[in-house]
A and B are shown apart, each in its own frame.
Chain A
Amino acid sequence: MGEEGQIMEYNTTELLACIASRELENGTSIFVGTGLPIIATMLAQRLHAPDLLIVFEAGGIGPKIPTIPISVGDSRTFYKAVMAASMDYAMGIAQAGLVDYGFLGAAQIDKYGNLNTTVIGDHDRPKVRLPGSGGANDVGSLCTRTITLMRHDKLRFVEKLDYLTTPGYLTGPGAREKAGLPAETGPYRVITQLGVMGFHEETKEMMLLNVHPGVTVDDVVENTSFKLIIPENVSTTSPPTSEELQLLREEIDPSGIVIGK
């Protein structure tokens, strides 16, 4: 551990957790999935967003997560919670407009933020079978804004998904509404080990917002198979602080289950 204020070494997972946690605002609600999203949420809850209302699909609502849960349904997800409810309740409040953010992960993403977590290759004869939608399609359909955390490379940032599990902006502006999905919903941020992406207000295409320290715009472009919108000004994210890192390592994930990877 470094001295107070000194810049500490950190790994990619720690960086992602810190950057993602900073996107979360106090007083908002967020639907959280397994792994890195939980770490980021726990960090936000311990720093700038103590009143972050966390919603887990199995029914844990408003917990103070004590230590990293292995499952989004295990007992940690309703520790000191305001409610131990049900999936019907959690999904129902998301559909009713009460969940502001949703955290997602994916094996593939396209320029409209559509996600694949089902198969690599053909659906019926898959090269790799992944878990499927789980709650992802519901989060992507029903939460007001979604944030996707994933690794950034050409095999993952693809022109065409092998399978569209979870809706982003589908085929572009107006497509979500036309399909029947709730109005004013959709992808908000994509956070990777290279930078932070958003979506162009009019075209709904993915747009680079920030790069992480030591990463260039070219690095991001080279690792993206589709044409990413590059604005004139791309700022650099601030690296994890020693406070963030210490919380991650000593309190949130002391066994290194997620951040040790």
Chain B
Amino acid sequence: MKFLAEGKGELHGWMHPDEARKWMRENKSRALINKLTTMKEAVQHYTRDGDYFAMGGFGHIRLSMEGIYEMIRQKRRNLIMAGKTSVHDVDILIGGGAVDRIDCAYAHGHELRGLSPSGRRAAQSGKVKIVAELSNAAFQWRFKAASMGLPWFPARIMMGTDTFEYSSSKIVEDPWTGQPITLLPACYPDFAFIHVHRCDKYGNCQIDGTTIEDVELSRAAKRLIVTTERIIDHEEIIDHPDRTVIPHFIVDAVVESRFGSHPGNMPDLYYSDEQHMSEWLSLSRTDEGVQEYMDKYVYGVKNHEEYIELIGGIEKMVYLSKLEHLEVPLDAPWARRGK
């Protein structure tokens, strides 16, 4: 196989497949073990300063926000984030001082809400470093390589662009076609959080709706913390084995986290909280505002129940459930500003 080109981005998360096999063999229990724990303990035991990590879901969809708040409370520092469509997750983590480097497919944007004032300021000032660029499919397939115990995965993307030049990928001559093809390095995050609709105490998980990158990410992560809206009986899992998307033997910890994706969307349960997003987007225009937000919503509460009370309690969650089910119209204060 003829080597053709190499991106100049920093390579993070890669391991030799034999090293990865050893990790999986020695650290992942195949037995049915009760893995229920608290968010506090999960963050203490499974996340470390300087780790390379990924969040499941889609930046503001099916997100483990409670895990993010707890990492900030425990003052995690110098984390490198897999910016795989990172939206509100990376924004809050930068604001909270936890992330200082991003392996970047998508960050500093809030999709329809516009650019993120806080994340963008951090990237432009150099407070946060972009260690490499890549595309969304590149991330997906880096996790896929890892999930299959392969050193890399081939794809017909990024070729001919600066996205490749700044990536950690390589281009080789494909021995079958004789044409150039991109080899994406496997990506094994040190840890990942994945928020699910329901799971049993062993970590067998069901997700409603799109799985996004989580089937592959769950197998790629060296340490996997599952957070769940609801704990269900093991019998419910084995009665519907076709619904299991993450099995217990790759899960390290299970934390019950009701409304854990707020202010993000949790498909079929609650839509994103645009009043809250607006408050963040306004406050995060200044560093003082970011601090005010953190003091109020992260440091000012003891746990997620207190946080949910603060954002409007069960009444707010009922409204977001109606919004999710198209029973009330969307009101997005950030959209009114532009008019």
Report yes or no: B157 in contact with A73, Cβ–Cβ below 8 A. no
The answer to whether the Cβ of B213 comes within 8 Å of any Cβ in the partner chain is yes
- Tell me the complex Cα distance, A74–B326, Å: 13
- In addition to A88-B140, A135-B135, A180-B156, 16 A-B residue pairs with Cβ atoms within 8 Å of each other are A58-B61, A73-B210, A86-B214, A87-B136, A87-B140, A118-B163, A129-B124, A130-B108, A137-B137, A137-B163, A141-B159, A164-B163, A166-B161, A167-B161, A175-B160, A257-B112
B105's partner among A125, A128, A133, A166 (CB-CB below 8 A) is A133
- Tell me the complex Cα distance, A66–B271, Å: 14
- Tell me the complex Cα distance, A68–B335, Å: 13
Report yes or no: A131 in contact with B109, Cβ–Cβ below 8 A. yes
Query: Least Cβ distance of A156 to chain B in Å?
Result: 16
A70's partner among B104, B107, B130, B332 (CB-CB below 8 A) is B332
Q: Which residue of A lies closest to B116 (CB)?
A: A131
Q: Which residue of A lies closest to B157 (CB)?
A: A141
Report yes or no: A129 in contact with B162, Cβ–Cβ below 8 A. no
The answer to whether the Cβ of B212 comes within 8 Å of any Cβ in the partner chain is yes
Q: Mark A72-115, 1 if CB is under 8 A from B, else 0.
A: 11110110000011111001000100000000000000000010
Q: Which residues of the partner chain A approach B144 to less than 8 Å between Cβ atoms?
A: 88
Q: Mark A121-137, 1 if CB is under 8 A from B, else 0.
A: 00101111111111111
Report yes or no: B213 in contact with A88, Cβ–Cβ below 8 A. yes
Report yes or no: A133 in contact with B265, Cβ–Cβ below 8 A. no
Report yes or no: B109 in contact with A75, Cβ–Cβ below 8 A. no
Q: Which residue of A lies closest to B326 (CB)?
A: A66
Report yes or no: A180 in contact with B179, Cβ–Cβ below 8 A. yes
Report yes or no: A126 in contact with B124, Cβ–Cβ below 8 A. yes
Report yes or no: B158 in contact with A35, Cβ–Cβ below 8 A. no
Report yes or no: B159 in contact with A78, Cβ–Cβ below 8 A. no
The answer to whether the Cβ of B126 comes within 8 Å of any Cβ in the partner chain is yes
Report yes or no: A255 in contact with B335, Cβ–Cβ below 8 A. yes
**Which interface class (under 10, 10 to 19, 20 to 34, 35 or more) fits A?**
35 or more
B residues in contact (CB < 8 Å) with A? 57-61, 83, 85, 87, 104-109, 111-113, 115, 120, 123-124, 126, 130, 133-138, 140-141, 144, 155-163, 166, 171, 174, 179-182, 209-216, 265, 267-268, 271-272, 274, 324, 326, 329-332, 335, 338-339
Q: Which residues of the partner chain B approach A35 to less than 8 Å between Cβ atoms?
A: 111-112
- Tell me the complex Cα distance, A166–B137, Å: 13
Query: Which of B134, B135, B265 counts the most chain A CB atoms within 10 A?
Result: B135
Q: Which residues of the partner chain A approach B113 to less than 8 Å between Cβ atoms?
A: 70
Q: Which residue of A lies closest to B210 (CB)?
A: A59
Q: Which residues of the partner chain B approach A130 to less than 8 Å between Cβ atoms?
A: 108-109, 115
Report yes or no: B112 in contact with A258, Cβ–Cβ below 8 A. yes
Q: Which residue of A lies closest to B269 (CB)?
A: A75
Report yes or no: A87 in contact with B158, Cβ–Cβ below 8 A. no
Report yes or no: A131 in contact with B271, Cβ–Cβ below 8 A. no
Query: Least Cβ distance of B178 to chain A in Å?
Result: 10
- Tell me the complex Cα distance, A245–B120, Å: 35
Looking at chain A's contact residues, the main secondary structure is loop
- Tell me the complex Cα distance, A181–B135, Å: 15
- A70-B274, A87-B140 known; A260+B339 contact, CB < 8 A: yes
B61's partner among A34, A73, A95, A175 (CB-CB below 8 A) is A73
- Tell me the complex Cα distance, A73–B140, Å: 14
- Tell me the complex Cα distance, A179–B214, Å: 31
30 A-B pairs within 8 Å (CB atoms) are namely A70-B112, A70-B272, A71-B60, A74-B58, A74-B60, A74-B267, A74-B272, A75-B209, A78-B267, A85-B210, A87-B213, A88-B140, A88-B216, A123-B162, A128-B124, A129-B123, A132-B108, A133-B106, A135-B85, A135-B136, A137-B138, A137-B158, A137-B161, A141-B157, A142-B156, A165-B161, A170-B160, A255-B331, A260-B335, A261-B338
- Tell me the complex Cα distance, A261–B156, Å: 36
- A34-B111, A137-B161 known; A87+B209 contact, CB < 8 A: no
- Tell me the complex Cα distance, A256–B332, Å: 10
Query: Which of A75, A86, A136, A261 counts the most chain B CB atoms within 10 A?
Result: A75
Q: Which residue of B lies closest to A86 (CB)?
A: B211
Query: Least Cβ distance of B167 to chain A in Å?
Result: 10
- Tell me the complex Cα distance, A228–B220, Å: 47
Query: Least Cβ distance of B323 to chain A in Å?
Result: 10
The answer to whether the Cβ of A60 comes within 8 Å of any Cβ in the partner chain is yes
Q: Which 3 A-B pairs have the closest CB atoms?
A: A180-B180, A73-B58, A131-B109
The answer to whether the Cβ of A226 comes within 8 Å of any Cβ in the partner chain is no
Report yes or no: B87 in contact with A75, Cβ–Cβ below 8 A. no
Report yes or no: B133 in contact with A132, Cβ–Cβ below 8 A. yes
- Tell me the complex Cα distance, A73–B214, Å: 13
- A85-B211, A135-B136, A135-B137 known; A180+B159 contact, CB < 8 A: yes
Q: Which residues of the partner chain A approach B85 to less than 8 Å between Cβ atoms?
A: 57-58, 73, 134-135
Report yes or no: B265 in contact with A71, Cβ–Cβ below 8 A. yes
- Tell me the complex Cα distance, A30–B76, Å: 41
Report yes or no: A95 in contact with B155, Cβ–Cβ below 8 A. yes
Interface residue ranges of A133-169 to B (CB < 8 Å): 133-138, 141-142, 163-167
